[in-house]
Amino acid sequence: SEEQLRQSQKMEAVGRLAGGVAHDFNNLLTVIGGYCALSLRQIDEAHPLQKSIAEIQKASERAASLTSQLLAFSRKQVLQPRVLQLNEVVRGMEKMLRRLIGEDIELSTAFDLLLGHVKADPGQIEQVIMNLAVNARDAMPRGGKLTISTANITIDQKTHFRNRTLDVGDYVQIALSDNGVGMTEEVKSHLFEPFFTTKGLGKGTGLGLATCYGIICQSNGDIRVYSEPNSGTTFKIYLPRTDAKLEPTANPESGRLPSGY
Ligand code: ADP
């Protein structure tokens, strides 16, 4: 649709701009950070400028991390699709996710044990899940519950959702639900735009969901959001199911005969 086209053109423009600027910016930030460190060493520990310079240093570190996010965003990442079982992808991330969301948020999983396979880039799918988990965490500052569930879904009639269409077919769905602050209609309408954030200066980059959107679209899937202020948010991701079987996991030893044969 026209809206999709505009969105992807915007992402591409942002990506190109960001990639060009971010590289030069990183060099400048290295210089700023370097001079801060040098100055801190040259002045007395009790000098009144200590605190100010330390603040400059902190800000330049924060800027450096933002530019590296921009670089990652703009890099045309080559997809390396593989046949995946999303239950396994989530299981592999559980420990990391628990650490990420902290002790005040409970992580619960509900796997469809007969879940079909999808063809997608595992690293990118992990990134999508992580970005959504970070947002869920930020939406539950006083704790709560994050639920990750999977299911086989059959779409038997073309469905439209916010200008995107899901074709008839078999899909694997993965949903992340939180019981956090939720979103207003206004926030929802800007959600997947690059640089849209409500997290305030120095906190959000507004690239998390734009990145998710790009990855899921490239994987021929869809991402949908259901959210109400004060009751929570659910993101549902749909990826086309594939009949292909799981490839044996990449193991450098496999296919090679043990020595002596
Ligand atoms: P960022 O996290 O840097 O702000 P995102 O693109 O990931 O960028 O998110 C954009 C905005 O969408 C957030 O600032 C927030 O307002 C809203 N948002 C995303 N996920 C959630 C959620 N689970 N609950 C409430 N608001 C959310």
Q: Whose CA is nearest to atom 19 of ligand 1?
A: 135
Measured in Å, residue 92 CA sits from the centre of ligand 1 at: 24
- How far, in Å, are 194, 202, 237 from residue 173 at the CA level? 24, 33, 5
Alpha helix positions (H), 43-119: 49-74, 86-101
- How far, in Å, are 180, 183, 241, 246 from residue 186 at the CA level? 17, 8, 33, 42
The pTM score is 0.75
Nearest to 105 by CA among 175, 180, 174, 176: 180
Query: Higher-confidence residue: 211 or 135?
Result: 135
Is the pLDDT at 229 greater than 50? The verdict is yes
Which position has the token pair 């619960």?
108
Question: Residue 202's pLDDT band (boundaries 50, 70, 90)?
Answer: low
pLDDT given at position 215: 87
Calpha distance 7→11 (Å, rounded): 6
Which position has the token pair 């073309």?
158
Is the pLDDT at 176 greater than 90? The verdict is yes
Pocket test residue of 101, 134, 193, 209 for ligand 1, highest count of atoms within 8 A of CB: 209
Point out the ligand 1 atom lying closest to the alpha carbon of residue 207: 6
Q: What is the dihedral of CA 118, 123, 125, 131, to 10 degrees?
A: 170
Per-residue pLDDT tens over the stretch 148-158: 999 999 998 87
Is the pLDDT at 259 greater than 80? The verdict is no
Share the mean pLDDT of the chain: 85
Q: For the residues 232-256, what does the mean pLDDT come to?
A: 75
pLDDT given at position 162: 66
Ligand 1 close to Cβ of residue 203 (< 6 A): no
Q: For the residues 160-165, what does the mean pLDDT come to?
A: 69
Q: For the residues 169-192, what does the mean pLDDT come to?
A: 96
Measured in Å, residue 77 CA sits from the centre of ligand 1 at: 23
Measured in Å, residue 212 CA sits from the centre of ligand 1 at: 12
Is the pLDDT at 108 greater than 80? The verdict is yes
Query: Higher-confidence residue: 165 or 253?
Result: 165
pLDDT given at position 143: 96
Question: Residue 172's pLDDT band (boundaries 50, 70, 90)?
Answer: very high
Measured in Å, residue 228 CA sits from the centre of ligand 1 at: 13
Nearest to 132 by CA among 176, 196, 184: 176
The interface pTM score, or ipTM, of the predicted complex is 0.98
Neighbours of 145 (CB within 10 A): 16
Per-residue pLDDT tens over the stretch 9-66: 777 777 777 777 777 788 888 899 999 999 999 999 999 999 999 999 988 888 887 7
User: Is 249:200 a contact under the CB 8 Å cutoff?
Assistant: no
Question: Residue 76's pLDDT band (boundaries 50, 70, 90)?
Answer: low
